[in-house]
Structure 1
């Protein structure tokens, strides 16, 4: 449709207006546009909206501004509220609770919980060596947990008075350090503390496997090598405690 100055004059003569609504695609001649400008008539494309519709649009814009995005997903999605099936992996970034890193956090959290129960159970033994070693590994577990959650390097580690390299050496050579062989033939005849420690040693292995699933990619790329090394030593350091228990350093129970 072409809108000319003549048509506008006829419309304006019938009814003076300050706003003209035209269909999209309407063409105005230069003189028609000048006519509108001279009289301050606003030109609007499309169907005129009611006052209620205009008010609703304004309310929607205000509401949209009021909405604050609290979380985001690892794929760029955003969330106003945290879905029940998701949790924070770091900062305000959400992942599903079956994410491999979250599964690992659950494992290391469980290991810590089980270790605390074990420590409480043998608290009454009053054995200074046992209490000291239980506390040393408790700190080791906690350090791994905090390092992963905060995304910080594990740093130097000492547990039972050994660094990580020494732990490997001692656990592989029981004859040299404890004057006895490996506990390959462990049975229910062993002292209770040895059996309890063995139970935690097997669970630490499950925790290590969970960490491998979380930090080793299909292409072989490795993340958090420090944590993987520490968790590999975790079962070894518990095994050292088992050897100590087997040679009577923790008394009998």
Structure 2
């Protein structure tokens, strides 16, 4: 049998016996030998009398002889053995009477398995600490196993939270894992466990918040429910496991009198349970808020839809703006000659605007565009309006701008029949916009500079956002889109835009 310090100490405190009787083949662990010496306890192996505590394995004489060579007995040895047998019988009788008067504290049931050789650690035992063997059922060993299992649960939960996109929870569990590792180190090295905060909260703050979730998270103490979702359920599972580890710690470090030798570990494990409850409350609070926000948005959307149904539909014609250029007076003369004036090809939808017969070539780092139409009349500054596709072909950066806003825009080379112009800025992808007369703007409760959404009715309907409102007494009602935007919606000549949320 294996004799451990834990078993000796537990039994010795009951009766304070001074004699322990063990069966042959018993193994006494090093820590058990130290305890026996410190208490002045005598050890007797059945049939062999008192033993030398410097040994770790004790066997009867008969067992020792049976394992070696036995010579044939001579007459002299037979006579000696007879005398020895008689003496042994007398001693055993005396020992039996002594055992009758002394209550043993260790079971004398012999082991079924053969004894372990001296100096070899039995498989069913492990080191509690260096030089201290205990059975694997020792309470401290059981506590360590539960702490290991708990850390595995933490890693598994982190993998789950990663799939759920809960990066903040992953970081919180990483902090908790580090605390658990330090708990293990402090216990094994028998060092005090010191910590100041967890999740940014002191031990007192953890306890306070876990006890008053309504105050800190806006939710009540409620039983766990499937309606809380899988994230909260996983956090409560970790909380239950941390409490189980705390129970194992109490068994390991609390004696029969209720005195605990490692209150530092117990306190940390207790606050760990509070931390998981706080995390679960935070998730529930966030989910509740998100649900309320979503419900509010749905209500607003339904209200807007109802108002749109009630209000008259605001429709606008769609005009497609192909690539073109507006020239300044100076650049017009540089490209076409001194005192040159544009020739009107056709009037445009906007009053006073026309497409000229003149065209130019646009040259960029990667290519060129031929026969780009000039629009009149001339302007203060030259402005090139092209699509994103055109920008890619020319090799210039596509920059979206309202008309006239040239800051931060690229330039290119303009080639005309009489010369070229190196434009340093003014190449834009024009913002989608609606031209309105002041009377139309007042009727629709819009003003210059507003931005709205417009849904275009076409074989491929599209809703355009961030549509600029431009108001002038020189305008008439029309939505302008560039060629890329129009092609994306398969806009036809009869297509119209419907203003939304106005």
TM-score scaled to structure 1, two decimals? Answer: 0.66
For 1:1-12, what aligned pairs fall within 5 Å after superposition? none
Counterpart pick for 1:190 among 191, 213, 228: 228
**1:126-162: CA deviations, max 9, x gaps?**
4332222121212222221221122111112321111
Q: Is 1:75 matched with 2:28?
A: no
SS in 2 for 1:161: coil
SS in 2 for 1:226: helix
- Are the counterparts in 2 of residues 215 and 224 from structure 1 also a CA contact under 8 Å? yes
SS in 1 for 2:228: coil
> Normalized per residue, which structure has more helix?
1
- Are the counterparts in 1 of residues 161 and 167 from structure 2 also a CA contact under 8 Å? no
For 1:103-142, what aligned pairs fall within 5 Å after superposition? 103-142=142-181
**1:107-129: CA deviations, max 9, x gaps?**
11111111111111212334332
**1:163-215: CA deviations, max 9, x gaps?**
21211111111111111111x22211112110011111111111111111111
1:92 is matched with 131
Of 234-243 and 116-125, deviating more is 116-125
Of 163-172 and 139-148, deviating more is 139-148
SS in 1 for 2:227: coil
1:86 and 1:248 map into 2 onto residues whose CA distance is 49
1:223 is matched with 261
Query: Does the C-alpha gap of structure 1 residues 181 and 115 become closer, same or farther in structure 2, counting only changes over 3 Å?
Result: same
Q: Which has the higher contact order (CA 8 A, sep 6+)?
A: 1
The list of structure 1 runs, each at least 4 consecutive aligned residues, that deviate by more than 4 angstroms after superposition, is none
Query: Does the C-alpha gap of structure 1 residues 81 and 219 become closer, same or farther in structure 2, counting only changes over 3 Å?
Result: same
1:228 and 1:176 map into 2 onto residues whose CA distance is 27
> Normalized per residue, which structure has more strand?
2
Counterpart pick for 1:232 among 257, 270, 274: 270
Query: Does the C-alpha gap of structure 1 residues 149 and 157 become closer, same or farther in structure 2, counting only changes over 3 Å?
Result: farther
Rg larger in structure: 2
SS in 2 for 1:80: coil
- Are the counterparts in 2 of residues 191 and 245 from structure 1 also a CA contact under 8 Å? no
SS in 2 for 1:82: coil
Give the drift of 1:72: 4.8
Counterpart pick for 2:193 among 154, 167, 185: 154
SS in 1 for 2:268: helix
SS in 2 for 1:131: helix
- Are the counterparts in 2 of residues 171 and 237 from structure 1 also a CA contact under 8 Å? yes
**1:6-27: CA deviations, max 9, x gaps?**
xxxxxxxxxxxxxxxxxxxxxx
- Are the counterparts in 2 of residues 89 and 102 from structure 1 also a CA contact under 8 Å? yes
1:246 is matched with 284
Give the drift of 1:231: 1.0
Q: Aligned residues, how many? A: 181
1:101 is matched with 140
SS in 2 for 1:247: helix
2:177 and 2:229 map into 1 onto residues whose CA distance is 21
1:227 and 1:116 map into 2 onto residues whose CA distance is 21
SS in 1 for 2:128: strand
1:164 and 1:137 map into 2 onto residues whose CA distance is 14
Please, what is the CA RMSD of the aligned residues? 2.2
SS in 2 for 1:185: coil
SS in 2 for 1:138: helix
Q: Where in structure 1 are there 5+ consecutive unaligned residues?
A: 1-70
For 1:48-67, what aligned pairs fall within 5 Å after superposition? none
Q: Where in structure 2 are there 5+ consecutive unaligned residues?
A: 1-27, 35-55, 57-117, 291-502
